[in-house]
Chain A
Amino acid sequence: MAALLAAETLQGPKVDWFALSPLLILLGGAMVLLVGGALTRAWPKRGYALFTAAVALAGGVFGVLLWHRIDDKGPMSLVGNALTLDKVAVWLTITICVGVFLAALVSDDYLRREGLDGPELYVLYLLAALGGIVMSSANDLIVLFLGLEILSIALYVMAASHRKRIESQEAGLKYFVLGGFSSAFFLYGVALVYGGSGSTNFDKIVTAFDTTVQLDRQNDALVLAGVALLLVGLAFKVAAVPFHFWSPDVYEGSPTPVTAFMASVGKTAAFGAMLRVLLLALPHWRDDYRPALWVIAVLTLVGGSVMAVVQTNVKRMLAFSSISHAGFILVGVEAAAHEGGATLASPGVSSVLLYLLIYSVLVMGTFGVVAAVGRTGDAATGLAGFRGLGKNQPVLALGMTVLLLAQAGVPLTSGFIAKFGVITAAVDVHSYAIAIIAMVSAVIAAFLYLRIMVSMWVIEPEAGDDARERVHVPALLGVAISLSVAFTLVIGFLPGRLIDITP
């Protein structure tokens, strides 16, 4: 028996541990939190949040180190070709880490305020981020699927984590059911693509199709169906119309920091996955899925903006705004889909990456303010809750104004740079129509930001509003919002360096 075992020692793939460092750090951090949180007494105030932030920061720092390594040695594939470490992956890793970092800061006081304090949510943040990083650096459909599930399941739990609010649980349930539903579609897509190519590995898929795809198009119907289903899964994750229905409800119902996390990390990872699947695994079907992407992008842009118009709950508004932003990013993806070959080096991809980073930070800050304004119970997130903010908390209101203007794409904010990049990418490949539709829908979307601003600055609080608890900005949240605002403005004024390094 022993001999048999000895003879059959498995030759596992080589593991470049350093290259996996961000993943390992997040995982390790999660374990420490989980085990430590369970075994020790409650940590000091802010302990969990600061620890999580530190872990995320460390992950990010290692991401930067990896970045330099790629500068020196070029991209590489990891763990038996399951992951790819290229600049896109590292960029997204850093973006996700930034998201987690800010999310941890935003969550701290919120959780204590809502009586939900504990390490669990932070553990989920870290693990979800891990899933996100896997998604955005996967080189294999199965790995990508697992990353997706890690992220999604964590998000389901997070959405439902506000025990006192039935809305939170409703959100969790909806997200879960629909998430599972769409995951099944995605998985079916994986299966069909696997059937056509004989592998789930991106490189092998491409190689397989290189030899067969040009021969007989009709016989690829099954693979095309697979592509369609993959697209469904991805579109669901990024909340593209008509697969977006979950997102307003879930955004509204989830605890605000979790909403922020979904909008930043969730979206980043989903788009990372989308880039990889569409551009690296399925470049042969560019001409097939590009029109579909076009339509989805337009629907998403217009739908998100239009539906936001009639909302009165700020979280819900921002959910629709997030849909609209997804539309913008899809414009970038569509532009990238014009490039030939299995490559991520195109203006479209760059614009998407830039957009994701900027949007992640932006949306964190925005929801941070919403978390503060929501007050105890996380219920005052209607427009009415923002009334008089300009008077009572002018600095907070000003910060929110900057963030909202950035979301609207007003120049000298990072939001404008992001939009400009996407538009440039689209125009670069002569997708003028979609560029114009995008900009016009941005105008429609601007209406909702204006409404929030009007509530903050112009509309006088009503009699009942005065009795409301005063908005209070705790330290860590303040730090998170300040960082977000600062980033928004700095990138708005001096984007050159950042654009330069975008892969």
Chain B
Amino acid sequence: MLDLVWLIPALPLAGFLCILLLGRKLGDPKAGYFATAMVGASFLVTVGVFLDMMSKTADERSHVRTLFQWIPVGSLKIDLAFLADPLSITMCLFVTGIGTLIHLYAVGYMHGDSRFSKFFLYLNLFAFSMLMLVLGSNMLVTFLGWEGVGTCSYFLIAFWHEKESAATAGKKAFVTNRVGDWGFMMAMFFAFWAVGSLDYSVINHSVLSTPTATAIALFCFIGACGKSAQLPLYLWLPDAMEGPTPVSALIHAATMVTAGVYLMCRISPVLEIASDYAGWIIAIIGAATALYAATVAVAQNDIKKVLAYSTVSQLGYMFLAVGSGAYTAALFHMITHAFFKALLFLGAGSVIHGMHHEQDMRRMGALRKLMPITAITFIIGWLAIAGVPPFAGFWSKDDILLFAYDKSPILWAVGLVTALLTAYYMTRQVIMVFFGEARWHDAHDEHGAHGDVHTNDHEPHESPWMMVTPLVVLAFLSIVGGAINLPFSHKSERLVTWLEPAIVVRESDTSKLPLAIVAIVVGLVGIALAIMVYAKHRVKAVEPQILADAWGYDRAVSNFMGGPGRQAFDGIAWADAHIVDGAVNGAGELVRGTAGKVRKLQTGNVRTYAAAIGAGVVLLLTWFVVVRGIL
């Protein structure tokens, strides 16, 4: 069964190819079901592989399946090969699993869109790329997937490309990601230079010097920052919400954005060799991002923007974990986050769908009655992310905070504040959307560009079954997801045990209980605060503009790009036209100008010519008689 690992990405690829050729014939909704089926089949294969792997001893669980030599030249031997090990299969499981659900959801969500089949074309391609990323046995195959998901992300963000903002957001995502890709490529160069191979098996098992390992780790981290939306490269993710909501859920919450975390875990042995400061840098950036994004989320009014910043914040958590050496904790959180954040996004999507593409929370409220299932599942997601036990989020977040405390109490404190804010802004969101009074009547005029296909019924409504089913499944997972790694005993830490052969596992000796209690309290405080503000209106809401503007960072970057950056570009373009090309044209002009001047000597008058000859004679005589003869 392990040898069939190639089927996992192959099925979505097949789906992609089929839809490419037949997509229009299949149409809405068959294309969607077909795509869902392909990813679902991929999930089944993954489960098969997973079971097969489970049946093996820990040592035998790593398996490389080479398809063919991809780039064999000189000392560079790169195979198109898959590495099936607990880490990759874990990733595959939730990528395909959640992927299937979101595909299904999308069939409902995208119903009626004029480019329905194209959406699933991209979605399948994305699934394929993501699986390549996860399964790659060397950095380059991972990079193939890495870029593939980036490209799909671009396609999908800009899916409604008629909208200027969507097109811009897509481009921004791709270009920003490319900055990170530069780091990834540099990491590969270093790795190849140091060990002559890009295979994880070789890199992770080589005796690297500390500086090299640090370089590889940090360059990988730059790549991860791009893909996983960390400071300072997170900019693209909030904008990416321009894409259809299933895309936000699948790509920009559950799977693609976690690729950075995955990569860091994948090379965790290298990180271990790297200098201490590498870990510190990662942890600090992670913590900073977490806190920063959480503050921003507090003041957002767009239902998806809140979730987007929340995602950034949660990813920050994961990097905090990575930086603290808690790779399993990072992965654990990644999985639970995938559950609840996908749930939240899909729930938000369901709301948006029900609200006819209204995204402003200020125009929502009291939806729980009209969209009961959506409301309930969303609330479960809220509890999970807010860190309320026993929901999934609590366990994983707690795990991270524990290791962060090991690293430094300050990091832990930052994490705690973030947790508080998270609870606060999520509660705010739930209240604004599902409780309070209905405010949607105020806004009939705001019709989404793509809402036209819906009926003229302006009343919000519950979503169809294919959208609701995934919500329910994910809600269930958000409740019980924590079970995969309960910190009660070594045995209950199933995820850790499972991943142990693949990544570095670290034990913490800090007492877990007090920290957990603090975390719970903090979470509850956050919820309570929000209730006071938004439900009871006891306290006036604090939503300063600067937070809504994300501390002005985005604008600063835009201003820089539009200002000095653009000027620099203009300057170079000018220099190209006027200096580089100017020199060429200048040379031409010089010749022409000289000729124009010299031709004036050609007066047509014999006497002038005679004078010229005379002058020539004198010059020649000077040379011959004076220089050569007399001197």
Residues on A lying within 8 angstroms of B by beta carbon are: 173-174, 177-178, 181-182, 185, 217-218, 220-221, 224-225, 227-229, 231-232, 235-236, 242-243, 245-246, 248-249, 288-289, 291-292, 303, 306-310, 444
Contact = CB atoms under 8 A, between A and B. Distances in A.
Nearest to A320: B595
A197 to B, nearest CB: 16
Given A178-B606, A242-B616, A306-B595, 11 more contacts: A178-B610, A225-B629, A227-B624, A228-B624, A229-B621, A245-B612, A245-B613, A246-B609, A248-B602, A306-B591, A306-B594
A173 to B, nearest CB: 7
A228 B620 contact: yes
Q: Chain A interface mostly helix, strand, loop or mixed?
A: helix
A288 B624 contact: yes
Contact of A221 (B598, B601, B629): B629
A228 B624 CA distance: 6
Contacts of A444: 591
In the complex, which range does the number of interface residues on chain B fall in? 20 to 34
A308 B598 CA distance: 11
21 contacts: A177-B610, A178-B610, A182-B613, A185-B613, A221-B630, A224-B624, A225-B624, A225-B629, A228-B623, A229-B617, A229-B621, A232-B617, A232-B620, A243-B613, A245-B612, A249-B604, A292-B624, A307-B602, A310-B592, A310-B595, A444-B591
B629 A220 contact: yes
B608 A245 contact: yes
Contacts of B630: 218, 221
Contact of B617 (A218, A228, A307, A308): A228
A243 B616 contact: yes
A307 B624 contact: no
Contacts of B544: none
B55 to A, nearest CB: 73
A388 B595 CA distance: 28
A289 B620 CA distance: 9
Contacts of A228: 617, 620-621, 623-625
B418 to A, nearest CB: 68
B628 interface: yes
B615 interface: yes
Q: State the main secondary structure of chain B at its contact with A.
A: helix
B598 A232 contact: no
B599 interface: yes
B598 A307 contact: yes
Contacts of B612: 242-243, 245
A217 B629 contact: yes
Contact of B592 (A177, A229, A231, A309): A309
B590 to A, nearest CB: 9
B596 interface: yes
Nearest to B603: A245
Contacts of A288: 624, 628
Interface string B334-366: 000000000000000000000000000000000
Contacts of A229: 617, 620-621
Contacts of B624: 224-225, 227-228, 288-289, 292
A292 B606 contact: no
A306 B592 CA distance: 7
A307 B604 contact: no
Contacts of B610: 177-178, 181
B596 A310 contact: yes
B595 A225 contact: no
Given A217-B629, A224-B624, A224-B625, A303 B598 contact: yes
A292 B618 CA distance: 12
Contacts of A232: 613, 616-617, 620
Top-10 shortest CB links A-B: A221-B629, A245-B609, A228-B624, A224-B624, A228-B620, A310-B595, A224-B629, A242-B616, A288-B628, A309-B595
A289 to B, nearest CB: 8
A281 B476 CA distance: 111
B602 A225 contact: no
Contact of A178 (B613, B615, B625): B613
Given A221-B630, A248-B602, A307-B599, A174 B620 contact: no
Contact of A231 (B609, B615, B620): B620
Contacts of A245: 601-602, 608-609, 612-613
B606 A174 contact: yes
Chain B CB within 10 A, most for which of A235, A242, A246 = A242
Given A221-B629, A310-B599, A181 B613 contact: yes
B606 A173 contact: yes
A454 B625 CA distance: 48
B613 to A, nearest CB: 5
Nearest to B621: A228
A217 B628 CA distance: 9
Interface in B43-85: none
Contacts of B617: 185, 228-229, 232
A224 B624 CA distance: 6
B108 to A, nearest CB: 62
A307 B610 CA distance: 19
Contacts of B595: 306-310
A309 B591 contact: yes
A291 B623 contact: yes
Contacts of B620: 228-229, 231-232, 292
A421 B309 CA distance: 75
A436 B180 CA distance: 48
B595 to A, nearest CB: 4
A218 B629 contact: yes
B628 to A, nearest CB: 5
Interface in B562-606: 591-592, 594-596, 598-599, 601-602, 604, 606
A454 to B, nearest CB: 15
Contacts of A221: 625, 629-630
A232 B604 CA distance: 21
A469 B616 CA distance: 44
Contacts of B628: 224, 288
B542 to A, nearest CB: 73
Given A181-B613, A218-B630, A225 B592 contact: no
A217 B592 CA distance: 44
A472 B429 CA distance: 91
A181 B612 CA distance: 12
Contacts of A235: 616
A164 to B, nearest CB: 20
A195 to B, nearest CB: 14
A225 B625 contact: yes
Nearest to A178: B609
Contacts of A218: 629-630
Most buried by A among B599, B621, B629: B629
A224 B630 CA distance: 10
Contacts of B609: 174, 178, 245-246
A178 B609 CA distance: 8
A311 to B, nearest CB: 8
A84 B566 CA distance: 76
Contacts of B616: 232, 235, 242-243
